[in-house]
Amino acid sequence: MSLFSGLKERLRDGLKRSQEYLATGLATVLEADRPIDDTLYEELEELLIAADLGAAIAADFTNRAREEVMFGTVTRADQLRPLFRRFLVDALKPAAQPLNLDARPSVLLMLGVNGAGKTTTAAKLAASLKGDGRQVLLAAADTFRAAAIEQLETWGTRIGVDVIRQAAGSDPAAVVFDAVKAALARRADVLVVDTAGRLHTKSNLMDELAKLRRVIERQCPGGPHESLMVLDAPTGQNGFAQAQMFHEAIGLSGVCLTKLDGTAKGGIVVRIVRELKLPIKLVGVGERVEDLKAFDADAFVDALVPADPAGGPRE
Amino acid sequence: MLDSLSARLTAIFDRLGGQGRLSEENIQEALREVRVALLEADVNFKVVRGFIDRVKVRAVGQDVLKSLTPAQQVVKVVHDELVELLGGSGHRLAPAAHPPTVVMLIGLQGSGKTTTAAKLARLYAKQGQHPILAAADTYRPAAQDQLKTLGAQLDVPVVDDGRTPVEICRAALESAAARGLTPLILDTAGRLHIDETMLDELKQIRAAVKPHHVLLVVDAMTGQDAVTVADRFNQAVGIDAVILTKMDGDSRGGAALSVRHVTGRPIAFVGMGEKTDALEPFHPDRLASRILGMGDIVSLVEKAQQNVDQAQAEEMVRKLREETFTLEDFRAQLKQVRALGPLDQVMGMLPFGKMLKGAPKELSGEQADLDRFEAIICSMTPGERRNPEVINGSRRQRIARGSGSSVQDVNRLLKQFAQLKKMMKQFKSMEGRLGKLKGLGGFPMPRG
């Protein structure tokens, strides 16, 4: 399956730039002969903060490192790198889970705040699943933003996937209703639903989303089989509030982390995974369809804390 | 984060005991809290480091003002420093000597450029100018359609002639000059700040149409990377001001401070919603409060002032005092509360609102109550509204049926109304003792 092959290389490829940037920082922080002192801890903590892991998690990791040093399991500064990598991998390992595509049709609901990349991700996902030989349908349930439907239709034509749509401004629940009906009638394997961007603080829009969920549930028991929050990597600490409130409102099945091809590292997902126990189902590392990948904890941690200062292979 | 910075600082200073003067020692722990608050608000850690040093210099040796506690004093110093760094309010986009004034929007994908372009056009049109838009995003599918749809809604012309973004911008400039339209607002494609090819394109556009104002559009939810983004765009293309978008959410917006710090450019506007009228001038003091987690009380007060009729409120106070407050008045009051917007959004603007954030379901329950109460009152006869005592069992059943609620709901409303009247009586007797009680129709203002 194209979606789950060669992803480690790809992710590393896409993250190379941020890796290079961070590697220079870490090289100086973690020189072997550096004394382990408060300044070093502070610098380590700031590296994690710089990757958007948040002050609380950065402090927690640093404190755990202090303990290891206290117990004598770590004696040199350059041993801290593998230690931090272990903390991160331990935290993120449970997050690598594949998409749930067993049902037929499998209904995948894409949601998130404005501008996170829902439409693009929905289209790329549809293309990728089609490439695996599945019959895929797209639903244009963003009826609010101007030309959102046209945007998805252009994608549909480009990737050869039918788009179920209605006029702009129509009821998204009606679009979803039609789309699920069409998916059932055509015996499609997967239906990917693109919804309008909404801030998690707007209660009326969250209610609308819950309604979309109910419409899917009613017609297609067990659905939606995935409710994926699309989160872009530049997002800071607010990403946690987003995940928390979307999760409360409709129950998420996972997160898609997009735009990892910039310099942002998307560290907020560490907190989302740790506290909300949500998996990361997909990552976007570039503009091409092939750049949407399954999440790999090792590759992701490689980008956050490279294995060695040159950014070469891991130990 | 459950409590605001002031509450946490108060706890620290309580432990330290009463302090008459801020010293290096006694503010150490307080500054650590300030640091965490800023980091939680997404201010870049390097910016935080410099900021804390400056606050320390400013705070140490200060006498605690008589009216303030040490915690409040520290918050005040931090707040003042933030306001100063965030810069003066309302950066004006000065019109060019030779129109059309050209405004160019640049930024990452999904930061909100197209929506902001439409908002700017609407703002200018409202000021009596005749804006024109250029749809220069030829990459994202249907991006030009999006701007054209928005342009049609606002009755603002949109130019999209040309194959390349540079051609489109040039054509738009010619069109603006020929038709005497100004300003010209260029909507460019979103791009990564490390994509050299795409940055070159912005430079070409810049060279071709010589914009008077290049505005960087930044998502308020951006994290630590905001400094890199702003710095690269500024280095590569050069920016004149910043627009902060999606500020209607609950992000603390610390990215603004980072961007301001690395570019030295002012924040011109903030985007406060999805609709095209949701563009507001920037207020550094409000953002400073927000970054510190102190809530945006000023915005709430303004909202209240906009939505609550002063005369009506005074009338209400008079009625309460004379005990002629009826269910009719109660309904009017409910309407005013509802006019402020969904309760959970109102709560989000309050400092203690964060505490309630954990219970949004209960809040939307309150909201449903308001809706139901209004329906119930509407199902009463005018006589019943003036004199609820006449509402007996069969009337209750009729009212419940008419409003689609249950008799229990009607009872609950009547009980709450009775309680309210009783409370008013107590207020009145208190008033007699304490002298004039003012602002009864107003809103309880929590202390920041």
Q: Classify domain B3-86 at the CATH class level.
A: mainly alpha
AA letter at B163: R
Q: Which whole-number Å values give the CA distances from B361 to A37, A199, A202, B343, B358, in the listed order?
A: 47, 17, 13, 11, 9
Q: Which residues of B touch A259 (CB under 8 A)?
A: 108-110
Per-residue pLDDT tens over the stretch B327-355: 887 787 777 666 665 555 555 554 444 44
Asked if A245 has any chain B CB less than 8 Å from its own CB, the reply is yes
Q: Which two tokens stand for residue B4?
A: 């605001």
Angstrom distance (rounded) from CA B345 to CA B188: 32
Q: Which residue of A has its CA nearest to B347?
A: A201
pTM for this one? 0.79
Supply the CATH classification number for the domain B302-439: 1.10.260.30
Look over chain B and give the mean of its residue pLDDT values, rounded to a whole number.
82
Angstrom distance (rounded) from CA B386 to CA B409: 19
**Of B250, B206, B216, nearest to B356 (Cα)?**
B250
Question: Strand runs (DSSP E) across B78-192, as ranges?
Answer: 102-107, 132-136, 158-159, 184-188
Q: Where are the domains of chain A?
A: 1-310
**Predicted ipTM of the assembly:** 0.88
What percentage of chain A exceeds 70 in pLDDT? Answer: 87
Whether the predicted pLDDT of A39 surpasses 90: no
Residue B414 sits at the vertex; the CA angle it makes with B411 and B418, to the nearest 5 degrees, is: 135
How would you classify the pairing of strands A280-284 and A292-293? antiparallel
- Look at residue A203 in the predicted model and tell me its pLDDT: 87
The answer to whether the Cβ–Cβ distance between A239 and B223 falls below 8 Å is yes
Options 3.90.740.10, 3.30.43.10, 3.40.50.300, 3.30.70.3270; CATH of A1-310: 3.40.50.300
Whether the predicted pLDDT of B173 surpasses 60: yes
Angstrom distance (rounded) from CA A227 to CA A254: 7
- Assigned architecture for domain B102-294: 3-Layer(aba) Sandwich (3.40)
Question: Strand runs (DSSP E) across A134-249, as ranges?
Answer: 136-141, 162-164, 190-195, 226-232
Interface test with A, best of B109, B244, B262 (most A CBs within 10 A): B109
CB A32 within 8 A of CB A78: yes
Strand partners, B186: B104, B134
The answer to whether the Cβ–Cβ distance between A238 and B252 falls below 8 Å is yes
Dihedral angle over CA of B378, B380, B381, B386, nearest 10:
-90
In sequence order, which residues have a C-beta less than 8 Å from that of residue B266 and are 6 or more positions away?
B87, B88, B91, B241, B242, B260, B282
- List the single residue in B39, B45, B246 with the smallest CB-CB distance to A199: B246
Q: Where are the domains of chain B?
A: 3-86, 102-294, 302-439
Q: Give the count of Cβ contacts less than 8 A between chain A and B.
A: 154
Q: Give mean pLDDT, residues A93-112.
A: 95
- Residue A201 distance to chain B (closest CA, Å): 6
Per-residue pLDDT tens over the stretch B298-332: 555 555 555 556 566 666 666 666 667 788 877 87
- Look at residue A310 in the predicted model and tell me its pLDDT: 47
The answer to whether the Cβ–Cβ distance between B364 and A203 falls below 8 Å is yes
The answer to whether the Cβ–Cβ distance between A201 and B141 falls below 8 Å is no
